[in-house]
Structures are given as structure tokens and as C-alpha cells.
Structure 1
Amino acid sequence: MRAKSSFRPGRLFIYAMLLVAAVFMLVPLVAMVFTSLKSMPEITGLAPYSGGTILSIPVDPSFDAWKSAWSSACIAVACDGLRPYFWNTIVLCVFSVTISVSIGAVNGYALTKWRFKGDSVIFALLLFGCFIPFQIVLIPIARLLGLMGLSGSMAGLIAVHVIYGISFTTLFFRNFYVTVPDELIKAARIDGAGFWSIFFRVLLPVSAPIAVVAVIWQFTSIWNDFLFGASFSGPNSRPLMVALNNLVNTSTGIKAYNIDMAAAVIAALPTMVVYVLAGKFFVRGLMAGAVKG
């Protein structure tokens, strides 16, 4: 018998379409990187660089624009580049993600394995929080932060992201913990384990897939946030996306497109790295809570 051919035209077509889509999606990134490596005369097409396009490979590549964007570009009244705002965003993400994911895990555990009167109402309210538009809560939150003395501070901005993130993280963990057999919890109770013992010794060790999902979701949402950062941050707590907007939209001096593109790539790098390194775990985590049993 002849061996069955492994060639499948349908699969080849799918791969070709995926390749075209990938190239199409990568074109803006390639243009940004190429522009960031060029000098302004090369970008504007001055001699001897005439005839180039936005996708032309840099003739004399240089990282001067990257250095300027990181440490010396003028943003608002300061000329220290993106560096201080980058570290502001790192601090913001670390604390906001850690707190919101931790609270979401406990909430999901309590709402699935320690049922109590009114738990469905509480979950419905938390779920409703996922659909509240950011814009309609800006004034109430600003008023509340002012009353608490947290207006314009890093602590206030962290609190805002934690509160908004709890709804999503609770939903993730709740849907995942529903798939964990109740017999495990009952057996732990029979052995004398309490609320926290069961959480830390039984559920938390198996929560890695959904924890990765929650962390990636929260990290990318907070890192890319502009609205809350522009509304609630102060001069010393301004996050990266607000600084990037101020840099790109400055109206003083010559428009340095290479510095703008370098700054945009720097701002996007952390989220790209996270998705490249942990993207497959994100998909696995989503699928882990998709089927009960």
C-alpha cells in the first residue's frame, strides 16, 4: 500500500494566511524601529538620503534617538527622558497587580468553595464592575481620592487600578475554582483544615494557570493605561503612557520623529516581552477553567 500523502492544501492555505496576517501586523513595528534608528536628515529625505521611504533600511543606523528618549528628551518641564516614568510604571504594576490578583484569588475561592447567603449577589455586583466604563467614574474617584488625601499620589493611582482590577481577577479565579472538585475541600475540612489552610495548601498550588492569566491581563491593562494615569497622577507619579503622550505631542522645537518612535518602542517592549514569553501560558490558563470536570 502506498503511504498516505501528508500534503494538505487546506493547511497550506491556512499557514499562508497566517503568514500574511503576521507580516501585515508587523509592518508598523518595523517602521517604528527603522525610523528610530535613522537620523532626522535621513527621515526627511535630505541629501544624501533622498529617495528613502518609511520602510527603508537605515543607511547609518544609530541608537542616539533611543538614548535621548530614555534619558534626555524633554517632557513637560523636565528633560530627563522616559526613565523616571518607566520606573513609576514598574512600581505601579508590581503593587497593583500583586494586590488585585491576591484579592481576586481569595474572592474566587470564597465565592465557590465557601458558599454563604448573598454570595450570588456579591458576585453579580463584582461582575457588573467589569462593564462600567472608565469615563463615568472619573469625577467620583477624583472626589474620593481628594477626601482621602491620595490625590496625585502613587498610592492613589495604585488604589484605583486595584479596585478596577478586582472585578476581572475575581471572575478569572471564580471560573477556575468552579472546576476544582468539591471533594478536595471536604476532605481537607475533615482533616481539620480551615479557610486559609485550604486556600494556601489545596487551591493555591493548582492555581498557577489562572494566576498567569490574571497577572498578564492586569499587567498589560495597567502598563498601557492612559486615562487613569492622566486623570489621577501627579508630577512625581506620572506613568509611562502619559509621559509618552506628552513627549510625542510637544509643540516646542523641531519635531524629532526618530525620538518619538524610539520612545514608543521602549514603552511597548515590556508588554511585547511578556506576551512572547508567557503567551502560551495565557492560552493554557484560559482553557484550564473552560470545562468543569
Structure 2
Amino acid sequence: MSRIVRYGLALIFLLLVLMPLYVLIVTSFKAGSDIGVASQWNLPENWTTASWAKAWTSLQPSFVRTFQLAIPVAVISSVIGAANGFVLSRWRFPGADVVFTLILFGMFIPYQAVMIPLREIVTTIGIPPGIPTLVFVHCVYGIPICTLIFRNYYATTVPEELVEAAWVDGAGLLRTFARIILPISAPAFVVTVIWQFTSAWNDYLFAIFLSSTRNGPITIALNALAGAQSPDYAASMAGALITSLPTLLVYVLLGRWFIGGLMAGSVKG
């Protein structure tokens, strides 16, 4: 009986989650005359992909730019986090715990609190507006979480004897990191790459402050598509699905390693 109740509750929650997705998908294939509050649950009377074509035409330039943002952010911040995590887990220099605490402090600074000074900083530094600015900002803000994940992974999973053996063989800190540590860091890299890719891809707050529809990512273009004076709901729904596809694919392709990567740094191996 208890199993039936659990399965019943799980089915109810699944339906609640899938209901908005159903409306999103069927609306994206409807013509304008089919869209309305009363008919939102109905299947399209005439299936059409015109809204998908319109959404893609509007989003395509920013779609490419968002890849130019998310991929460098995921790679750069993960590599920096790996280097920080290795040093902070294996090189116990004076003040290491203080440095680690200060790095983690960056995780708790609200974006809204630093938005105006951050814009002044990137303007003073002279970073080109748009994607280059967003790459810089997301890499900086991604360092704390990447450092935490890699530090925990190296401290709990990588055997200390492995590092000591490399040092006995004459490998220095950088060579040990490049030749020994990086090749066995795939689980942690999966976690940080997924985290940083989705964070950069879905970001709107940084994008709206530090870029525009002409040089910004897809979230700004999607907002412009959906926020017109006379919004095209079918095109907006299609645009939302197009925008979500890359992050969905990332989770589908790498998701089975994501939980394993998180758990790898949670317990002593």
C-alpha cells in the first residue's frame, strides 16, 4: 500500500512539473488564431513551424554569441579553480585557510550589490563591451565555486601518496599539477563545466547591465522577443525552447557524471 502511495505521489508531482512544459511545446506550434486562455491546453488545430522560424531568425545571432560566452567561461574558470584547489589542498603555506575563506567569500556577494561598481571597473580596465566583458565577469564570479569543488575533490579523492611520489621523482608543483593531477580530475571538471556553462548561458542580470541586444547573449534577445508591444506568444514559446536546448543537451550528455563528480569530493576515497 505504501508503495502505491509513493508511486501515486511521484506521478502527481511529475504531472505538475510537465504541465507547463506541455503548454510551452503545444503553444509554440500554434497559429495566432489558436492561442488563447481557453484553448491553452488544446492541441493545435493547424500545426505550424512558422513561430519556430521567426524565433530562430530573431535569436540566431545571439545564440552563436552565447556559445562564445559559455564555453570560454566554463573552461577558463574550471582550469583556474583546479589550480587553486590543488594548491590549497596540497600546499599548506601560511595563511592558506585565510586565503581559501576569502575566495569563498565571493560566493556570498549578491550580484545586485556590485553591479554598478563592476560596470565602472570593466569600463576603466577597457574590456570591450558585450561578450568579452561577460566572459571576464563570469570567470571571476565562477572562481569561488570552482575552487571549492576542486579543493574538496583533491583533498578527499586524490591520494596524497600520488603527489608525494611525483615530488620524489623530481616533479615540481606545476609539473605535478599538469602531468599527474589534471588527467585524473575529469569528475570534478564535469561538475564545474556543467555549472559554469549553465550559469553563463542562463544569466540575465550581468547581461542586461554589461551588454545589449546588439552584442549580448541569448537571454537579452529572448526578452526582446517576448517583451514587444504586441507579443507573439507562439514565437516566445519557441524561443524559450530554443534557448533551453543547449543546457538540456549538456545535462543529457554529462548528467550521469554530474552526481558522481559531486559525490567524489564529498567523502574520503
Q: TM-score range by the shorter chain?
A: over 0.9
Q: Which residue of 2 aligns with 1:134?
A: 111
Tell me the matched-pair count. 268
Matches within 5 A, 1:19-38: 19-38=11-30
Correspondence 1:16-95 to 2 at 5 A? 16-44=8-36, 53-71=39-57, 81-95=58-72
Q: Find out whether 1:223 has 2:215 as its counterpart.
A: no
CA separation in 2, counterparts of 1:258 and 1:236?
23
The 8 Å contact of residues 36 and 258 in structure 1, kept in 2 or not, is answered as yes
Q: Give how far 1:151 is off.
A: 5.4
**Largest Rg, 1 or 2:** 1
Superposed, 1:105-254 pairs within 5 Å as: 105-150=82-127, 152-179=129-156, 180-251=158-229, 254=230
> Which residue of structure 2 aligns with residue 48 of structure 1?
none
Q: Which amino acid aligns with 2:120?
A: R
Rounded Cα–Cα distance in structure 1 between residues aligned with 2:49 and 2:95 = 59
Q: Is the 8 A contact 1:157 1:232 kept in 2?
A: yes
Q: Is the 8 A contact 2:153 2:264 kept in 1?
A: yes
Instruction: Give the residue type in structure 1 aligned to 2:165.
Output: A
Structure 2 segments unaligned to the other structure (5+ residues) = none
Q: Is the 8 A contact 1:151 1:233 kept in 2?
A: no
Deviation of the 1:268 alpha carbon:
1.2
Find the counterpart in structure 1 of residue 249 from structure 2: 273
Q: Relative to structure 2, which stretch is displaced further, 172-181 or 267-276?
A: 267-276
Q: Structure 2 CA distance, aligned partners of 1:104 and 1:138?
A: 23
Amino acid at match of 1:100: S
* Distance in 1 (alpha carbons) for counterparts of 2:181 and 2:5: 43
CA distance, structure 1, for counterparts of residue 220 and residue 66 of structure 2: 10
Equivalent residues of 1:108, 1:173 under 8 A apart: yes
TM superposition shift of 1:289: 0.8
> Which amino acid in 1 is paired with 2:162?
L
| Structure 2 residue corresponding to 1:286, chosen from 242, 251, 262 | 262
Partner residue of 2:232? 256
User: Which structure has more helix as a fraction of its residues?
Assistant: 2
Structure ranking higher on relative contact order (CA contacts 8 Å, 6+ apart) = 2
Q: Sequence identity of aligned pairs in percent?
A: 44
Which secondary structure does the structure 1 equivalent of 2:242 belong to? helix
TM-score (norm. length: structure 1): 0.87
- CA RMSD, 1 decimal: 1.5
Q: What are the ranges of 5 or more consecutive residues in structure 1 without an aligned counterpart?
A: 1-8, 46-51, 72-80
After TM superposition, give the deviation of residue 174 of structure 1 in Å: 0.5
The answer (yes or no) to whether the contact 1:151–1:232 under 8 Å persists in 2 is: no
Kept in 1: contact 2:131–2:217 (CA 8 A): no
Aligned partner letter, 1:284: G
SS of alignment partner, residue 35 of structure 2 = helix
Contact 2:213 2:221 in 1 (8 A): no
